[in-house]
Amino acid sequence: MSLQRFMKEAVSEWMRGKGPDSDIVISSRIRIARNLVEHPFPMLATDSQLEAVIEKVIGASGQEAFQQLGDFELVKMEDLSDLEKRVLIEKHLISPNLAEESRKGAVLLSNNESVSIMINEEDHIRIQCLFPGFQLKEAWNLANKIDDIFEKQLDYAFDEKRGYLTSCPTNAGTGIRASVMMHLPALVMTQQMNRILSAIGQVGLVVRGIYGEGSEALGNLFQVSNQVTLGQSEQEIIDNLESVARQIVEQERMARKQLMEKSKIVLEDKVCRSYGILQHARVIESKEAAQRLSDLRLGIDLGIINNVSANILNELMVMTQPGFLQQYSGQKLTPEQRDEKRARLIRERLLIEHHS
Amino acid sequence: MRCQECGERPATLHFTKIVNGEKTELNLCEQCAQEKGDLLNQGTDAFSIHHLLSGLMNFDQNIPTAPERSERALRCETCGLTYNQFAKSGRFGCSNCYKSFSPKLDPLFRRIHGNTTHSGKVPTRAGGQIKLKRELQSLKDELKRSIEEEAFERAAEIRDQIRELEKKIASG
């Protein structure tokens, strides 16, 4: 398959990177957890009970109001290869838990992949809306709408005091997890991340690096999300996250400006070296690729590099993950083969940039 | 020792994971550990949340008290999950567990969320009356504010809305 065609199929809406503040906020995500009454949670349910849950969700998605939202496809985990599941995880469309742990797990995926409804994960239903850029409210509006449509047919487990009942007590109440993925290279370079991390913890939010181990964030990508789901309304949770994320965006912009004023030549050197390496490397590990792509993206955002489109970081961060690389190659690869393949994919992707 | 993932580079990172007394060892080179990082990390993440939660739930049991024995025997009649199993897994078995373990849950929710009571969305069908009651409450709050601000015209409107709503609730 040609890279161009593969990309067309591989790139989800959120990776295209068009959206408000998309120079810093890569994507906004809302996930809400729901369960059906009189069905044990997936952990304790029998296979036939789980199949009944899938049937009910299919039924609810047959409503006209749902059909108007676009085309959806139901994908059962048992029908996918390990590699295909891995690709869906790398695109953030399903959770590792659904892919690896669930019995009778399935996902209802929208055509542009901005909606994925997981069935029989830890909870019966998890509605996820993933939008490019800073669009938390838009994502919530859509998730809320789908929830309302489903509720017309499905009997949700709900309690006046505890709200929506979920398998894990950390999700009870609203069942909502709102998160924004941000690219924060300047805050990392100016060593301000630790200060920000500890401040965020104090307002009921949590930050983690994505694609990385522990606190280390690969490609300077961080995800900020709410911890508390009970006792605050959805609106409060989203407003809180939005205002904190807004402040981080401002801080990152300020740090970028300072870097440009105080050490422009050092920054240019860093960006251009990384660009050169991405254009010419023959072997590259995922960690280095992530860092170089982050540098390149920063260079694009600051106008140091002009002939490369900004969504390259979003796309290549996902496409250079092990699952994707193997899917693209159509075979299992050893880590060394992957490093070689990764370098080639990046080179080819940059060539397409120059020809278009 | 060679990396057990690629079998080529020497293993420089050694992980030992012990879950319920079962020991698994992983010997990886740096590159493979990086690639696997995602997976390993999720493993440990899940474990720590787990661990943390069951730590929270067992908090009370560290202090020996008289009713402890009956608490241990707490069991959900619908799905059969015991409170002990819940404390270990950090997962409820069914929606009825919330009722079955109710006496133990307030402190738990307070520790996790700093709160015990839902104040967000209410489903239209399942929540029918609850939704109306919440609406009533927010109208009453608004009425109070209007009176304080001496916006009496607005207050009169709200008072009429409240009467309507109260009739609706009373008629079920």
CATH of the domain at B37: 3.30.60
Contacts of B109 in chain A (CB under 8 A): 162, 169, 172, 230
In a domain, B138, yes or no: yes
Instruction: Kindly state the percentage of chain A with pLDDT values over 90.
Output: 71
pLDDT band for B66, please (50, 70, 90 cuts): very low
Query: Taking CB atoms and an 8 Å cutoff, what residues of chain B touch A160?
Result: 118, 127, 130
In a domain, residue B150? The reply is yes
Q: Is A253 on the interface with B (CB under 8 A)?
A: no
Which of A53, A82, A98, A170 is most worth mutating to test chain B (most B CB atoms within 10 A of its CB)?
A170
Q: From the CA of A101, how many Å to the nearest CA of chain B?
A: 12
Helix (H) or strand (E) holding A183: strand A176-183
**Run of H or E including A318:** helix A312-319
Between the alpha carbon of residue A97 and those of residues A145, A273, A344, B43, B101, the distances in Å are 25, 39, 31, 10, 26
**pTM assigned to the model:** 0.80
Q: Which of B98, B92, B75, B96 is nearest to A37 (CA)?
A: B96
**Which residues does chain B have within 8 Å of residue A120's beta carbon, measured at their own beta carbons?**
none
Same structural domain, B106 and B132: no
CB A150 within 8 A of CB A53: no
Of residues B21 and B143, more confidence is placed in: B143
> Which of A46 and A355 is assigned the larger pLDDT?
A46
| Among chain B residues, CA nearest to A210 | B38
Average per-residue pLDDT in chain B?
Answer: 76
Q: What angle do CA B118, B120, B124 make, to 5 degrees?
A: 105
Q: Are residues B69 and B107 in the same domain?
A: yes
CA distance A134 to B108: 34
Kindly report, residue by residue over A26-38, the tens digit of the pLDDT.
Answer: 999 999 999 999 9
What CA–CA distance (Å, rounded) separates B126 from A190?
A: 51
Q: How far is B65 from chain A (nearest CA, A)?
A: 25
**Whether residue B70 sits in one domain with residue B42:** no
What is the spatial distance between Cα A258 and Cα A304, in angstroms, rounded to a whole number? 15
pLDDT in tens, A160-217: 899 999 999 999 999 999 999 999 999 999 988 888 887 888 888 888 877 544 556 7
C-beta atoms of A335 and B5 within 8 A:
yes
pLDDT given for residue B38 in this prediction: 44
Considering the domain boundaries, does residue B79 fall inside one?
Answer: yes
CB contact under 8 A, B119 and A144: no
User: Residues near A264 by Cβ (< 8 Å), separated by ≥ 6?
Assistant: none
In a domain, B73, yes or no: yes
CB nearest B113 (choices: A44, A167, A229): A229
Cβ–Cβ of A234/B116 closer than 8 Å?
Answer: no
Higher pLDDT, B164 or B9: B164
Confidence check: pLDDT of B114 > 50: yes
Structure tokens given for A346: 């990046």
**Residue at B123 is within a domain:** no
Our CA-based measurement puts residue B134 at a distance from the nearest CA of chain A, in whole angstroms, of 10
Q: pLDDT at position A285, please?
A: 93
pLDDT confidence band for A14 (50 / 70 / 90): confident
pLDDT tens digits, residue range A303-316? 999 989 888 888 89
B127-131 long-range CB contacts below 8 Å, 24 or more apart?
Answer: B127/A158, B127/A160, B129/B169, B129/B172, B130/A160
Residues of B in contact with A206 (CB under 8 A): none
DSSP string computed for A128-147: EEEEESS-HHHHHHHHHHHH
Residues of B whose CB is below 8 A from A174: 118, 120-121
C-alpha distances out from residue A169 to A223, B22, B89, B101, B148, Å: 22, 27, 11, 12, 40
Q: What does each C-alpha distance from B66 to A175, A191, B2, B74 come to in angstroms?
A: 35, 53, 55, 15
Please report the ipTM that was assigned to this predicted complex.
0.85
As a whole number of angstroms, the distance between CA B116 and CA A228 comes to 11
Task: Confirm whether B135 is domain-assigned.
Answer: yes
Instruction: Name the closest residue on chain A to residue B79, using Cα atoms.
Output: A40
Residue A161, CB-side half-sphere exposure with 13 Å CA sphere: 9
Chain B window 92-121: which residues touch A at a Cβ cutoff of 8 Å? 92-95, 98-99, 105, 108-109, 112-121
Identify any residues that bridge with A33 across adjacent strands, giving them in sequence order: A126
Amino acid of residue A29: R
Neighbours of A47 (CB within 10 A): 10
B4-63 pLDDT, tens digit each: 777 777 777 776 666 666 666 777 777 777 665 544 444 444 455 555 666 666 554 444
| CA–CA separation, B144 and B138 (whole Å) | 10
Question: Alpha carbon of A255 to those of A145, A187, A251, B31, B99: distances in Å?
Answer: 38, 6, 6, 32, 51
Which token pair is A122? 């830890």
Which value, in Å, is the radius of gyration of the alpha carbons in chain A?
21
Contacts 24+ apart (CB under 8 A), A1-9: A1/A328, A1/A330, A3/A328, A3/A345, A3/A348, A3/A349, A3/A352, A4/A352, A6/A328, A7/A315, A7/A319, A7/A349
pLDDT digits (tens, 9 = 90+) for A283-300: 999 889 999 999 999 999
Confidence of residue A8 (pLDDT cuts 50, 70, 90): low
From residue A123, alpha-carbon distances to A169, A209, B116 in Å are 11, 25, 21
- Determine the residue among B75, B82, B88, B121 to mutate to test chain A binding: the one whose Cβ has the most chain A Cβ atoms within 10 Å: B121
Average pLDDT, chain A: 91
Using an 8 Å CB-CB cutoff, list chain A residues near B77: none
Please give the tally of structural domains in chain B. 3
Among A58-72, A238-252, B148-162, the least confident range: B148-162
Residue B65, pLDDT above cutoff 50: no
Please list every residue in chain A whose beta carbon sits closer than 8 Å to the beta carbon of residue B90.
Answer: 168-169
H or E, element range at A291: helix A286-301
- Distance separating alpha carbons of residues A118 and A111, to the nearest angstrom: 15
Question: Is B83 part of any domain?
Answer: yes
pLDDT score recorded for residue A245: 96
Which residues on adjacent β-strands are paired with residue A107?
Answer: A75, A118
The minimal CB distance from B113 to the residues A228, A234, A287 is found for A228
HSE-up of residue B162 (Cα within 13 Å, Cβ side):
15
Q: Tell me the count of A-B CB pairs closer than 8 A.
A: 155
> A33 at the B interface (CB within 8 A)?
no
* Measured CA distances, A310 to A60, A120, B47 (Å): 39, 36, 37
Structure tokens at B58: 């067992």
Lowest-pLDDT range of A32-36, A91-95, A328-332, B166-170: B166-170
| Dist. CA B124–CA A156, nearest whole Å | 10
Report the sign of the C-alpha dihedral through residues A273, A275, A276, A282, in that order.
Answer: positive
B99 is in which domain, residue-wise? Answer: 64-113
Q: How close B69 gets to chain A, by Cα (Å)?
A: 23
Both B98 and B133 in one domain: the answer is no
B56 CB burial (10 A radius; 0-12, 13-18, 19+): middle
Taking alpha carbons only, the member of A86, A151, A43 closest to residue B39 is A86
**Cβ–Cβ below 8 Å for A43 and B115:** no
| A301 contacts chain B (CB < 8 A) | no
Average pLDDT, stretch B64-78? 64
Residue B52 within any structural domain of the chain? no
Q: Average pLDDT in the A155-160 region?
A: 93
Chain A within 8 Å of B137 (Cβ-Cβ)? no
> A-contacting residues of B 8-67, CB under 8 Å?
8-9, 29, 31-32, 34-35, 37-42, 46, 49, 53
How many helices (H) and strands (E) chain A has is answered by 14, 10
Q: Is A174 in CB contact (< 8 Å) with chain B? A: yes
| Cβ neighbours of residue B5 closer than 8 Å, sequence gap 6 or more | A335, B28, B29, B32, B35, B36
pLDDT of res. B62: 44
